[in-house]
Amino acid sequence: NKSREENSVCGHKEDMGRAEDMALAAAAGAVAGGIVVAYSMLKWKQRNNEESGDVNKESIDVSDFTLLPPPNPDWEPGDKPVSPFRGDFQSVKIQDMTCAPYDFFVSAMAPRMFMLCSTLSEDGTKPNLTPVTYIGAVSEDEPHIALGITKRKGNPEPKDTQVNIDRTGEFVLNVVSSWCCEAAEHCGKRHGPDVDEFEVSGFTKIPSVTVRPYRAKETAVQMECRVVKAVDLNDAEGVQASRVYIAKVTAIHFEKELMAPGHDSSRPAIGLPGLKPIALNNSRQRTCITQAFSDTKARASYEAEFKACGMTLNQLATEGDPQERKES
């Protein structure tokens, strides 16, 4: 009996070892495939720039971007999702919290977009640039966004950003990428009302086309916005704590090198790999988005885009770039 038990245990260990080896191999294959796809996207962009006569021959670096397979590729409608947790929930009523809910709330909302909001004083003499994170797309046709500007705790006076938007009805949102993250964070420090955040943080002012506030040149994507509605939100004591603006996006600017594969000026789309956008995980941690996966529906779109390279996504992941094979 002891011998049979030992054989059973050894066999179980061997099975576990084989399973671990297979899992590691599968994970390594997925990552390798993703790296191949990312590299192929980079080479496609380089060739596309050269063929189109782009003045800037140096393509943006997307070598650190990985396109992964879907996390659950075998899922079918009706299948029950398998959670890694036990379902042992901690429930918290906000009204019962004895501390400010900020840290708890923003950690539950992760990740959140991190953008710079540019405004201008009513007389046009004082530009303002500040980080914003309470923001989201709420409509696509016509494009609209929602932007929340909070008041400082214990200070009834509105921030300069709110004052400017209230008086002009205009602002510009600038996407924060990895290369300008620290400068964007510096804009959020408490500068005086007469301080130009563009100057103290190193950003360059460039004119907008449909609104008066400036754009930040060092950001790769900028959205000009015009307010259509404002809503006030109160705190637990009934004091106004935040003002939410619903704004129409009137123009979008982006670096030409960010044009997604398969798109052009008549049907523009922005490629995520080169943008390297920053998102907030909580009050202290930030994330740079350098990984993505496509769902089954989007896969057909990706395959159509990669036909420009003469191959499918499966070939990209297993065979590499066709131009590279031809040159070798």
Q: What is the pLDDT of residues 172-201, one digit of tens each?
A: 999 999 999 999 999 988 887 788 999 999
Query: Do the domain assignments include residue 114?
Result: yes
Q: What is the pLDDT of residues 215-258, one digit of tens each?
A: 999 999 999 999 999 999 998 888 889 999 999 999 999 999 99
Query: Do the domain assignments include residue 189?
Result: yes
Residues 222, 210 contacting (CB under 8 angstroms): no
- Percent helix / strand / coil, the chain, rounded to 5: 35, 25, 40
What span, in angstroms and rounded, lies between the C-alpha atoms of 240 and 263? 44
Top pLDDT among 236 and 136 is at: 136
Return the CATH number at 167: 2.30.110.10
What span, in angstroms and rounded, lies between the C-alpha atoms of 66 and 229? 39
What was the pLDDT predicted at 262? 85
Query: Do the domain assignments include residue 304?
Result: no
In the predicted structure, residue 322 carries a pLDDT above the cut 70: no
Q: Report residue 265 as tokens.
A: 């000026």
Averaged pLDDT, 91-112: 90
Q: Tell me the whole-structure pTM to 2 decimals.
A: 0.73
Query: Do the domain assignments include residue 167?
Result: yes
Query: Do the domain assignments include residue 278?
Result: yes
How many folded domains does the chain comprise?
Answer: 1
In the predicted structure, residue 283 carries a pLDDT above the cut 80: no
Q: Report residue 110 as tokens.
A: 């992760």
What span, in angstroms and rounded, lies between the C-alpha atoms of 8 and 14? 10
> What's the mean per-residue pLDDT of the chain?
79
What was the pLDDT predicted at 248? 98
Query: Do the domain assignments include residue 14?
Result: no
Helix (H) or strand (E) holding 194: none
Percent of the chain with pLDDT over 90: 48
In the predicted structure, residue 28 carries a pLDDT above the cut 50: no
Query: Do the domain assignments include residue 3?
Result: no
Top pLDDT among 284 and 6 is at: 284
What was the pLDDT predicted at 137? 95
Which among 308, 267, 291, 294 is positioned nearest to 62, based on CA atoms? 291
Binning pLDDT at 50, 70 and 90, where does residue 59 land? low
Read off the amino acid at residue 28.
A
Query: Do the domain assignments include residue 307?
Result: no
Q: For residue 288, give its domain range.
A: 100-292
